[in-house]
Amino acid sequence: MIAVSHVSMVLEAAGRSVTILDDVTVTIPAKQTVAIVGPSGSGKSTLLGLMAGLDRPTSGSIELDGVDITRMSETVMARFRRENIGYIFQSFHLIPTLTARENVAVPLELAGDPHAGARAAELLAAVGLADRMDHYPVQLSGGEQQRVAVARAFACRPPILLADEPTGNLDTATGTQVIELLLSLHRDHGTTLVLVTHDPALAGSMERVVSLRDGRIEADSLPPIGAHAGDSSA
Ligand SMILES: Nc1ncnc2c1ncn2[C@@H]1O[C@H](COP(=O)(O)OP(=O)(O)OP(=O)(O)O)[C@@H](O)[C@H]1O
Domain ranges of the chain: 2-93+158-220
Rounded Cα–Cα distance for residues 28 and 2 (Å): 5
2-93+158-220: what CATH class? alpha beta
**pLDDT attached to residue 229:** 45
Provide residues with CB under 6 Å of ligand 1: 11, 13, 18, 20, 38, 40-46
How far, in Å, from the CA of 74 to the mean position of ligand 1? 23
**pLDDT attached to residue 102:** 97
Report the percentage of the chain scoring pLDDT > 90. 76
How far, in Å, from the CA of 127 to the mean position of ligand 1? 32
How far, in Å, from the CA of 87 to the mean position of ligand 1? 18
Nearest CA to ligand 1 atom 29: 41
Report the percentage of the chain scoring pLDDT > 70. 95
Phi and psi, residue 85, nearest 5°: -130, 130
**pLDDT attached to residue 101:** 97
Tens of pLDDT along 179-230?
998 999 999 999 999 999 998 888 999 999 999 999 999 999 976 555 554 4
**pLDDT attached to residue 152:** 95
Average pLDDT, the chain: 91
Q: Which residues of 127-155 are buried (b: 16+ CB within 10 A; e: fewer)?
A: bebeebbebebeebebbbbbbbbbbbbbb
Q: What is the ipTM of this complex?
A: 0.93
CA neighbor of 71 nearest in space, from 79, 82, 60: 60
Point out the ligand 1 atom lying closest to the alpha carbon of residue 21. 14
Tens of pLDDT along 122-160?
999 988 999 999 999 999 999 999 999 999 999 999 999
Nearest CA to ligand 1 atom 24: 40
**pLDDT attached to residue 82:** 86
Of 228 and 5, the structure prediction assigns the larger pLDDT to 5
Nearest CA to ligand 1 atom 25: 40
CA neighbor of 183 nearest in space, from 160, 205, 167: 205
